[in-house]
Every structure is written in structure tokens, then in C-alpha cells.
Structure 1
């Protein structure tokens, strides 16, 4: 039987790098009262212009139930506002409040610093190679996590 080394496997290394990045960001975002999902929703609405909960779910990579739960919590915190559609009351549009914009602006330096910590471990050529290789690994795969 051939031995399998978990710690040498590509999947383990990718997962470990991802968890390290996520945990560092989680700790920083906590100081703003945000979770990583909330941060991703703020980015989706504020930077990407997404206004539909279904589009936000796909952008963040979570299901619609989790998106609804996050939006409800964010609305209670005063970060987003939800409005019924003008022509179809069954639709919902999401927008940032001033507090949501402030939270997004406050989180950007945290996310940038987190990325810079990882980037600093690689040369520019290595970063480019890593991005290219990760793109190859994920090419053709489902974008949103619920499909996995």
C-alpha cells in the first residue's frame, strides 16, 4: 500500500493557506463588528453594485438562506437597507447605508494588509505564477459554493 502524506498534499496546503488568510481577516473584521460574510456582502453591494440578494449569494458563494440571514443581521446593525422593487413588490433591492459605507471603507485597509502579508512571502513572479496556477485549478469549476 502506498503511503499518503496529508501534509504534503496540494489540497491540504491550499486549505491551510486559505484558513490562515481567512482567520487573520476574521480577527480584523471583528473589531468592526463584522463577519467575513458581512464583509463580502458589503463588497458586493458597495464595490460591485449588486443589489439583488440572489446576485449577492452567488458573489459571496453562499446559499440564499445564509444571504437572507446575513442581510437581516446587517439591516439590524444599520449597514444595509432593503427595499421592495418598484415594479414588482416580490423583489428586494439592497443598498448600503452611510454606516455600511463607513464599515466598507474601514475594512479595506484590513483586507489589503491581510493580502500584503501573504504577498510579501512571494516574489512578484511567484505571485503571478500562483495566481495563474490557481486560475487553472479552478477553471471550469462551479463559482458558487452551494454547487460544490
Structure 2
């Protein structure tokens, strides 16, 4: 058997740990209380205002059940607002508040620094290659995920 240190699953788990740590160090160090998922949700709402919760979950490849807690925390902090859909009274439309949009703009440099830390040690060509391969694997295996990416649901 191959050493555990050479297994893709083990390396992916370690890279996830590293990515979360880098994000927390840069974003938290800059004075922001945001998780990577919260940042993804805010970013997507900036690009696609008034999407519903289920659509947002698909757009950021997040579980539909657990997205509710993310949305509730962002709403309680005044970063997003929920309104009743005009076409489906059961659905809630999500939108950034002015405060949410302002925080999103202000936090972006820290997020960019976190991303750079995650690929530190690779030159520019290697970084491009790594990202291309990660995209390829994620796209090929999208349907295996319990929360597949659904980017074109709007």
C-alpha cells in the first residue's frame, strides 16, 4: 500500500486544513470575523442579488441544509437581508446590505493574501497548473459531492 502521505485524500484534507488556517490568519488578523463559506456567500450575493437560499447553496457548492445557519449568522450581523419572493411566497430572496457590501470590499485584500499563502512555494506557472488540475478534478467529480456546484442556476 502507498504511504498515507502520498494518498490524494490525505493531501486534500491537509490542504483544506492549511487553507482554513491561512484564511483565518489573514482575514481574522485584519479584524474580520468571516469564514470562507461566509465570504463565498457574500461574494456570490454581490454578483447575483436576490437569489434564493437553495440556489445560493448550489452556486457555492454548499449543503442546502447547512446553508441556513450561514445565512442566519450573516443576517443577524446585518450583512445580508432576506425578503419574501414575489413569485413564490415560500422562498426568501437574499441580498447584501450596504454594510455587507462594504465589508466585502474591505476584506478582499486579506482574502487575496490568504490565497497567496495557500500556494506559497510554487512559482506562477506551478500555481496556474495546480489550479487547472484542481478545477479539472472538481469538475470531473462534481456529482460525487453531497453538495455539487451548480453555478448556472440563476
Instruction: Using the TM superposition, give the Cα deviation of residue 57 of structure 1 relative to its aligned residue in structure 2, in angstroms.
Output: 0.8
Give the number of equivalent residue pairs.
146
Contact 1:59 1:144 in 2 (8 A): no
With structure 2 as the length reference, what TM-score do the two structures score?
A: 0.81
Do 2:49 and 2:96's aligned partners in 1 also have CA atoms closer than 8 Å?
A: no
Greater alpha carbon shift after TM alignment, 87-96 vs 42-51 = 42-51
TM-score, normalisation: structure 1: 0.84
Higher relative contact order (CA 8 A, sep 6+): 2
1:41–1:139 distance in 2 versus 1, CA, 3 Å: closer
- Structure 2, unaligned stretches of length 5 or more? 149-154
Runs of 4 or more above 3 Å deviation: 27-30, 47-50
CA distance in 1, matches of 2:107, 2:143: 24
> Is the CA contact (8 Å cut-off) linking 1:60 and 1:144 kept in structure 2?
no
In structure 1, list runs of 5 or more residues that go unmatched. Answer: none
Larger Rg: 1
Q: Distance in 1 between matches of 2:76 and 2:47?
A: 21
Map Cα deviations across residues 87-120 of structure 1 (whole Å, 9 max, x no partner): 3211211000011012211221111011122344
- Aligned partners of 2:82 and 2:95 also within 8 Å: yes
Tell me the C-alpha RMSD between the 2 structures.
2.2
